[in-house]
Amino acid sequence: MEQTLKPGLVVEYLHSNKINIGAVLTTEKHLTLITPNNRTVKLSKSRFLPWVGPRLNIDSSREEILHTINQLDEKREQIKNEIDTEELWDLIKDEVEEFDIVWLAELIWQKIDPDLVAALGRAIIHDKLHFKFQKPHFKVFAPSVVEEKIFQLTKKEKEKELFKKGKEFFTILWQKRQDASIVLPKLEPDIEEDLKSLLKTGIQSPENKAFYKKWKQIAPDVPEIPHLPLVLAQTWGILPKHYNYLLDQADYKWGNEWSQKYINEIEKIIQTFSKSISKPEKIPFVSIDSPSTRDIDDAFFIKKIGSNKYKLYLAFAYPVLGWEFENELDKEVAHRASSLYLPEGSTHMLPEELGLDLFSLHAKKEKPALIVEIDLTEEGEIVNYDIRWSWIIVHQNLTYKEVDELILKGSEEYLNLAHSIAKSLRKKRIHKGAIIIERSEPIIILTPLNNDYNIELLEPVSYKESQLIVTEFMILANSIIAKWARENNVPLLFRTQDVSIPEEAKGVWTDPVKIYGIIKLLAATNIETNPKPHASLGVDEYAPMTSPLRRYIDFLNVAQLHKVFCGNSYFDREKLESLIPYLSTRIQEANKIQKYRVRYWKLVYLKRYSKKKHWYGMVVDEDEHLVTFVLPMEQLIIKVPKNLIRGDIYLGKTFRLWFNKIDPLNNIIKVQKAEEVKWKE
């Protein structure tokens, strides 16, 4: 090119990603060009594109040169616009990986000239989808690369349109939140679907970086408030009022629909169950549960066998029969981690066909069960025990209320014995340091009403005698299984709380002030593969296995026992250890849903009736700035600035509370004032 760069020669170069034309004026020291807009520019030789010509008469006037290069520019642009570069790419994509522009021009035309070559060069440079300019040649993109570039280009254009339409739509949607009469504009189906998907992503993963980047572009005119995607989705009507976003954030699927994709695995378990049924043991087991309970996972029977000796049979659901670990169904159940029992309904860890039907200990039906058979004294001292799995038939499914009434009548000897032994077991645990907190949650009743709920908070009903039996027998079973596992070196997951309990904290507590103070002292429990004491339960070791239909750790422990009965185990200690971080996280997620969803409905209730009812709080703690109240009936903890409280403050004192802001969605409750309650109230 150096030899051809002479005065008068027409050349082209790239500037600001645009092809420009010019005529060479001088080549001394610097290359000087004249451009169509009558400007003079200086360029290095490396800037020129690999095509030149024609050569103009340098002696012509400046006006004649300008006129000529403008004509050439228009001509080349016209030719360029008639060239189908995609067709050319299709012609050569399988022949060459790169080419010279003159080669391609000669392939197209029988006779070429500088204008044809330049027009072709312009067209090829412009087509960044199929070609890449790598001076002095052009690279041909492979079909797979072109396909990906088309996808990305389409995606970018679609995203650009989404941002434009979405920005307008979300602004109007926010306005509709203030004025329900506003009519939302109609969206194209794909735009509507993308906006809905964006909102759902924001609800599920608000900290997701990709979401946040897109959200900042699409909703800059909408005020930033907590849970904004949820608020907009509810205003739009794509999610209902009181939507439980915690399920989304925990990736926990409500209902039973999730299990339908595992229908083959479920059917295989049902078949294994049917083929395994054998003659049940003749023990008249009974279960004690709430009337609405469908996942019955424990039952018992007790009889006297000597002057101071009793035989206690404890039976537990056995959903591990036919179960295959580490398949897709097992992974899904482990991910669920626990059943949830919320005011708006229940959702279960296991597929309902298994957890509520096949393996649930319904009366009068043959069921597999883990049996813990215990010989013990009237004082609750264990003499001997045996663990096995077998088939049973539960004689009766009793309710807490029915059992309390029967104990009061004294008409059923086995219930009287069970109640007496349960009291002895509790006494033993307290002696060893157990902390027993007796407080009852209110009953939350939700009744659907016009796309909302009517909500009631009812005083809790306590069935102390029957609940005592269930609680003590479950703790006894879990501690015996843990002891057996330790003695036989069987790998299980243990629940531990290896801390010292102050002597003054031991015992049974009902006073809200004492309960609050004791809870502050307690350390969190851990999941471990080594048995250690569970201090607040007052037991030396504790391996949860009494709720295998409802909790995955219990399910896993029962499965470990089943495999031991069969001659081996599913997982060694190292494998169990590796599962703990994941299972702990999933349990925390499920517990969070359970805890905060119940609190949400309590706040909805307070907000709805805050101006119609009186609210009373008891002081349970204070510091320099805040006073902590518990609402005993509602079982809510509220912190109040000291400057809002009228009257002396001391633990156990009761105040009437007025609320000025209750936001259930954001877990906010603010007290306007607090006045001490006079003795006559």
369-422 confidence digits (pLDDT tens): 999 999 999 999 999 999 999 999 999 999 999 999 999 999 999 999 999 999
Question: Is the same domain home to 298 and 371?
Answer: yes
pLDDT of residue 380: 95
- What's the structural domain count of the chain? 4
On whether residue 250 sits in a domain, the answer given is no
pLDDT of residue 4: 65
On whether residue 253 sits in a domain, the answer given is no
On whether residue 16 sits in a domain, the answer given is yes
Question: Is the same domain home to 184 and 107?
Answer: no
Question: Is the same domain home to 331 and 387?
Answer: yes
Cβ contact 460:443 at 8 Å: yes
Write the pLDDT tens digit of every residue in 121-166: 999 999 999 999 998 999 999 999 999 998 988 888 888 888 899 9
Question: Is the same domain home to 468 and 541?
Answer: yes
- Cα end-to-end distance, the chain, whole Å: 104
Q: Pick from 598, 621, 649: which residue ends a domain? A: 598
Cβ-proximal residues to 101 (8 Å cutoff; 6+ apart), any chain: 50, 51, 117, 120, 121, 124, 138
Question: Is the same domain home to 459 and 581?
Answer: yes
Taking phi first (over 0 means left), then psi (-120 to 50 degrees means alpha), and beta for anything else, what does residue 420 get? alpha
On whether residue 571 sits in a domain, the answer given is yes
pLDDT of 1 strictly over 60 = no
Q: Is the peptide bond before 136 cis (omega within 30 degrees of 0)?
A: yes
Taking phi first (over 0 means left), then psi (-120 to 50 degrees means alpha), and beta for anything else, what does residue 638 get? beta
Question: Is the same domain home to 170 and 314?
Answer: no
pLDDT of residue 207: 86
Q: Pick from 79, 113, 141: which residue ends a domain? A: 141
Where are any strands of DSSP class E within 290-409? 298-306, 309-317, 340-342, 345-347, 366-376, 382-399
Q: What is the DSSP letter of 641?
A: E
Question: Is the same domain home to 458 and 507?
Answer: yes
For residue 72 the two structure tokens come to 């050439």
For residue 655 the two structure tokens come to 């105040």
Q: What is the DSSP letter of 128?
A: T
pLDDT of residue 566: 86
On whether residue 261 sits in a domain, the answer given is no
Mean pLDDT for all residues in the chain: 93
Question: Is the same domain home to 298 and 324?
Answer: yes
pLDDT of residue 377: 96
Sign of CA pseudo-dihedral 406, 407, 408, 413: positive
600-629: burial string, b at 16+ Cβ within 10 Å, e else = bbbbbbbbbebeeeebbbbbbbbeeeebbb
Q: Pick from 114, 141, 168: which residue ends a domain? A: 141
Question: Is the same domain home to 205 and 349?
Answer: no
pLDDT of residue 569: 64
Q: Which percentage of the chain shows pLDDT scores above 70?
A: 98
pLDDT of residue 186: 93
Whole-angstrom distance, CA of residue 457 vs CA of residue 262: 38
- What is the extent of the structural domain holding 653? 610-676
CA 227 from chain center: how many Å?
A: 15
On whether residue 467 sits in a domain, the answer given is yes
Whole-angstrom distance, CA of residue 289 vs CA of residue 547: 13
* 637: CATH: 2.40.50.140
Question: Is the same domain home to 221 and 337?
Answer: no
Residue predicted with more confidence, 410 or 220? 410
pTM above threshold 0.95: no
Whole-angstrom distance, CA of residue 465 vs CA of residue 423: 9
Task: Give the β-pairing of 98-99 and 48-55.
Answer: unpaired
On whether residue 263 sits in a domain, the answer given is no
Question: Is the same domain home to 373 and 486?
Answer: yes
On whether residue 413 sits in a domain, the answer given is yes
pLDDT of residue 631: 95
Question: Is the same domain home to 535 and 397?
Answer: yes
Comparing 206-220, 372-386, 395-409, 499-513, the range with the smallest average pLDDT is 206-220
The whole-number average pLDDT for the span 588-615 is 94
